[in-house]
Every structure is written in C-alpha cells, then in structure tokens.
A and B are shown apart, each in its own frame.
Chain A
C-alpha cells in the first residue's frame, strides 16, 4: 500500500514530550514512515527520516550526543536542527558536502505531545485546541487499524471530533489516535485539568485501555498490509563519487547582536530569517554580502552545540577596501545581510590523538570553532593565541570557557614569537596535527619552524586571510576541459575563472585571491604557474591541482572539468 496525499498532510502526535528524554533517540512511526526523534541539549526537538543517508541504517540505533546525532554504523554525525552531516570519520581530512542533509519532518510540541505531519507546514499546523494543564496517560499501542479503534471508542461512549480526535466526557478524557501504520494505532489520552489524576486513577485507566487492546487484537487478527516506507532518492550530485562543490545561493540573515570583543574587533551574531541554519563544520566560512556591494569571507566561530545563529568576528582593517569598515560602522543590530551557505576549505580531522592550534590575532576565529568542537568530542588539544596585548585579545570570554587547553601569548616581538613557535612545535607525539591561522608573515614562520621540527606537510593545515604575493597575470595559455570537451584561450590579464564564466562554466570561488581554496580544480596534464598561498609546496610540485582564480598555465593545460 502506498502513502496518500491526505495521509501526508494530517498532523498527528507521534510521542509525548517526556518520551524525548535527555540524550535519548525515540523510535516513532506515522503512516508507516519511520521517524527518529531526539531532543538536543538546547531543547530543540528533531524529527527525521529514520535512515542514515549513507547506508540506510536506522538512526534510532545511533547515539544522541546532545548537539549531534551519531549513526552507529560508520559514525556519521548530523547536526541538531539542520540535520546536515558535519563529519564523516572515514575521511577525516575532508569537509562533508554541505548538501548531505537528512530529511527533516515539520514538528511542534503542544498539549505535552510532539506533533508531526509528513508533508506539512509547521506555521500552518491544524492541531485540535484543548484546554491546557491536562495529564497524559501512557500511550497504548494496538495492532489493529485506526478505524477499528475509532469504532470501539465510539461504541464505548466517546464522541468523535475528527477521525483521530475523541472526547470521552464520562471519563474526562481527550483521546488522540496516532495512525502508526495501516494495521497499528496508538491511543494517546489526556485527562482533563482538574480531574482526578492520581496514580491509582492512571493505573485504572491504563488497565482499561490494555484490556481494550487485547480484545481488539483478539477480535481483529487480520490487519491491513503495512504502508510502504518511502525511500527518497538522494540528489544526482550525492550519488557520485567524489562530490563536486557547486556555487551556493545566498541566504538572508538578520543581525541579532553586535558587540565589541576587542578594541578593533566586532562580533556579529546572525540568525536566519526563515527556516533553520544550514549545517556547518569547524573551519568553515561564509561570504558576507555587504551593503556597499563588497563580498567578504568570515570564519564561523560557533561550536557544534550552537546551531541557532552564526557568530563571526570582524577586525577593522584600516587599509582595506571598506569591507570591515562597512560592518563596523554601517551595519546595525536588526539589519539584514545576504550570506552564502557555509563552505569549508579548512576541515578539521577528529581522528588524531592530539591537535595543536596556533592563532594570530583575528586568525583565532576558525580555530575557536575547532577548539569548541574538539572539546565536545573529547579529543585532546591545545590552543595557542598570539596577540599584541591582553586588551587586544579577541573573544577573551569565549577562550576562558575553554579552560586549561588555552595558552595566551601577548606582546612578543618577531624574535620572541619565533622562539615561542619553536617551543610549541617541539616534542611531536604520535598522530598529531597542526592548524594555523593568522597574518601571512606569521603563517610563513610557523610553517618553516614546523618543517624544521619534523612536521610533515600533510600534518600542517593553515588558512591564510589574504594572498599578499604579487600576482603575475601576463602570458596567455590554452585550457582544455577534459569532461566538458571545451578548449579556451586565456589571454594576458585575465584568469581561468573569468574566461570560463563567459562560456557558462562556473567554477565556485570565494576570495578570488588564491587564499581560500574554494576554486581548486584537478589538473590532468600541463605545467602550472602556481600563484596561490593555499596549496602546500608538495601539492604545487605534484601538479595535480591548481587554484583557478590566480594560478596560470604554461602552453596548454588539461583540467578535470
């Protein structure tokens, strides 16, 4: 039997609010569709398709981590609210494609029950209005069709307000029927406020309904065939390996709070105007579209336990082109900004025995998100923050909450900083990784010191805020696209990205300065003139990928596009 549209639209209770106990995953079902229901530590109720997107394992055998749900099979983690996958342990160095998102059913809590419609709109939910303050009875699951239960309730003197809602005046009861499947029905009773609701009464009513259940199951042994579970195909994009990133659309978000976190740094908390926040991972950034037309990238500072609004930190750049100034001076609380979906070019592995994080100034922002994630995941880490002075240290309160793992270094000159880096990078243990973010000069020093201390290229992860190298845009070359079967000429003074856009081939970009890694493309053959700061020296030498925004070819190159 297949699900009908009418069945999909109706709102039904699927659990009591107390069924969603802390750190528990409740197993529900409505019209044959299995539900994984869980309450996050922040109180939010999630009702999802009970199936991990990866291999179809029920999420109800997984673990409620408080801010994420973990699938028991391969440890995939899905975020509270957005249901977006935040981590795939088999590939700890990759950021999951942001479109890996479990299906969320609209839900809300009312009368002490959790209500769901398979294809509904939480804003327009039609839910019976009953007086508040009643006492919930224990749910009674009966293995017969809901029509059979309906007839039995009516024969027992209850009046039907709808096929799924009844009034039993004699017992001071409101009853809701949950159509679990074609042949399974749950009776959910609410005793009127003010009616006798002591334990003895609850036990007596529970016994009455248990006897009704036994009688109905005895009299109606033949139940209808179950309703087929709907399996939603994943998108074409997700069915392919590996996933390719697509340019995301923008999302309007409101500035909920703007506050000062250091003399020249403002923090902004941005909340979505409609719907939940898209999933993000530690290290991710968003493009912020500013009122003056500029687009700037800012790292997300949130930990995985805060999924209601994004917090970014913006340092005023005195010699910038006016992006940070616009945010500092023009944008106020209540203003609406357009933001890209979160993108991650600085993914955090969580499969290490220890992780060292080194931040310079405002470079703290992505590392703050990483530190919060590592702390909640129980992974050992240390965070070193370098700042000019104690007062100039951004997010000091947030750092305090991270406890003893944080080490602040202030007022060091170049020589003293280098000595500090050498100390921090010494004594490398087994299975360690290093994440660095800060001004370009600091990054260059840390990378050099780390290499000298025996750290391998693939253990060091860094994010540049800018590419300060002088770009050489002279020289023309030919670009052949292997999969699209297109060949174009890139003239002097123009980039691969710009020329391909004219041919309707859109390579996603973000900074367009060779610093962020968004426009990485795979190279099949040809010699590359790398001009970015994102790829490591080893990656540049291997010549298997390039940054299409600033790097150029010599002669003819073939790209995997």
Chain B
C-alpha cells in the first residue's frame, strides 16, 4: 500500500501526485497541516522525516523522502521498461539527472519566493526571485532548442520524463512568486504540452488546458 504525506498547496507534493496519476497507481493521502498548523515541524512528523519536509512516501513500510528521489523510486518500481525514468540510454539518463537537480534549484528559488509572497515566510525573497528569473530564462532557451532538435521535453526522446514532472510545478506556480512567464514563450508552450499528457491532474491554482 502507498501512503503519501501530502499538502495540497505544496509544489513538491504535487510532483508525486502527478507521477502517481500518470502511472495510474492508487494511493492514500495523509493531509499534513503545513500551514497554518506547521505540523511538519512537530515531533511526531520529525519521526517520519527528520528534515521536517514534505513530501514523504510510504510504500509497504519503505519510507522515502525528497520529491526527486520519490519520482525516481516510483519510475523504477512502476514503470519498468517505460520512459518516465532511467534506463533508456546513458545520455538520456544523464539529462534526466541534470534536470532533476535543476528542479531542486527551482524549489530553492521560485518555491522559496512563493512561500514568502503567499504565506509571508521570512526569507530573502528578492535574491530568490532573481535566481528564479535566471532559471526561467535558462529553461526557455533550452526548450526553444529542444522544440527544434528533439521533441520539446527537457530530456531527449519522444516522451516526457520525471525531469519534466520535477520541474513543472514550480514553473507553473511562478506567478505566485511574482515571476511572470511572459518573456518565456517556449516555457509557456511546454507547460501546455505537459498539461495535455494523459493522466494529468491539476492542483489548487493550476487550471487544465482542456
């Protein structure tokens, strides 16, 4: 049985809900009162994840944390021989790992600025926003060339990978951090493409394209 320790407005939790939706894998949710309850900092929750972070996945007693790690685990477990995760080619594996790391950077910049702007968390939002903007520009350039050289996904290949899933939420939620995507038309098209993948589901604040 799979249990997801989840918070609806968390972009990192959304990555896991997206992945489970694409794979068609059933799961149960345990809502964690991240805000305003700050339950993730409670002693009880730190027994599950000492880093006091969401999401956490429990698969038949195997407990794993960190959104990118969970995506990797789910792809290896439920998409054997498929193209969501590693194993298609060494080059593509490298690309996926590279963009998974980029997703971590998005959390640290856009995700942080969003916590500051929407929930008034105290942190250096201007620095986070500047970094977020740099990352969006890098992503836009990459996707413009991917539209010409490959199939418009972050890694090469015909299909989206867990790298796309890992990067989607905080890019989609960038306006929550006062980062407009107007100057990034390739990013906007990639978001639309991603939303059209079968099994796509929304989160609060994200609307479908069909």
Residues in A lying within 8 Å of B, measured CB to CB = 15, 19, 21, 23-24, 26-29, 61, 63, 72, 138-139, 141, 184, 186, 199, 202-203, 206, 210
**Which of B9-17, B119-127, B141-149 sits within the interface?**
B141-149
Contact indicator A29/B182 (Cβ below 8 Å) = yes
Query: In the assembled complex, which residues on chain A have CB atoms less than 8 Å from the CB atom of B145?
Result: 138, 199, 202-203, 206
B residues 111-165 near A (Cβ < 8 Å) are 137, 141, 144-145, 148-149
In Å, the complex CA distance between A21 and B196 comes to 13
Binds A, one of B23-31, B42-50, B183-191: B183-191
Q: A24-B188, A26-B185, A184-B183 are in contact. List 7 more A-B contacts (CB 8 A).
A: A24-B192, A26-B188, A27-B181, A27-B188, A72-B207, A138-B141, A199-B149
**Interchain CA distance A15-B188 in the complex, whole Å:** 13
Q: Which of A19, A21, A61, A203 contacts B207 (CB 8 A)?
A: A61
B194 to chain A, nearest CB (A): 12
Give the residue of A15, A141, A206 whose beta carbon is less than 8 angstroms from that of B183: A141
Contacts of B148 in A (CB 8 A): 199, 202
Q: Are A21 and B141 in touch, CB under 8 angstroms? A: no
Interface residues of B (CB under 8 A from A): 137, 141, 144-145, 148-149, 181-183, 185-186, 188-189, 192, 207, 209-210
* A19 to B140 alpha-carbon distance, docked (Å): 13
In the complex, which residue of chain B has the Cβ closest to the Cβ of A186? B183
Q: A139 to B185, Cβ gap below 8 A?
A: yes
Q: How far is the CB of A61 from chain B (nearest CB, A)?
A: 7
Judging by beta carbons under 8 Å apart, are A15 and B207 in contact? no
Query: Within the assembled complex, what's the spacing in Å between the Cα atoms of A26 and B192?
Result: 11
Partner of B189, one of A24, A61, A138: A24
Interface residues of B: mostly helix, strand, loop or mixed? helix
A23–B209 contact, CB under 8 A? Answer: yes
21 sample A-B contacts, Cβ–Cβ < 8 Å, listed by A number: A19-B185, A21-B189, A23-B192, A23-B210, A24-B189, A26-B185, A27-B181, A27-B185, A29-B182, A63-B210, A72-B207, A138-B141, A138-B144, A138-B145, A138-B186, A141-B183, A199-B145, A199-B149, A203-B145, A206-B145, A210-B137
- Complex CA gap A186/B149 in Å reads 24
Q: Which 4 A-B pairs have the closest CB atoms?
A: A141-B183, A138-B144, A27-B182, A19-B185
- How far apart are the CA atoms of A203 and B207 in the complex, in Å? 34
Complex Cα distance A26/B148, Å? Answer: 19
* Nearest B-chain residue to A24, judged by Cβ: B192
Known: A21-B192, A26-B188, A29-B182. A63 touches B209 (CB 8 A): yes
Q: Which residues of the partner chain B approach A63 to less than 8 Å between Cβ atoms?
A: 209-210
For A139, the chain B residues whose CB sits under 8 A away are 185
Residues of B within 8 A of A138 (CB): 141, 144-145, 186
Q: Which residue of chain A has the shortest Cβ distance to B152 in the bound complex?
A: A21
In the assembled complex, the Cα of A19 lies from the Cα of B187 at a distance in Å of 11
Give the distance to chain A from B200, nearest Cβ to Cβ, in Å: 14
- Point out which of A19, A23, A72, A138 has the most chain B C-beta atoms below 10 A from its C-beta: A138
A210 and B141: CB pair below 8 A? yes
**Residues of the B chain whose Cβ atoms lie less than 8 Å from the Cβ of A206:** 141, 144-145
How many angstroms between the C-alpha atoms of A187 and B182 in the bound complex?
15
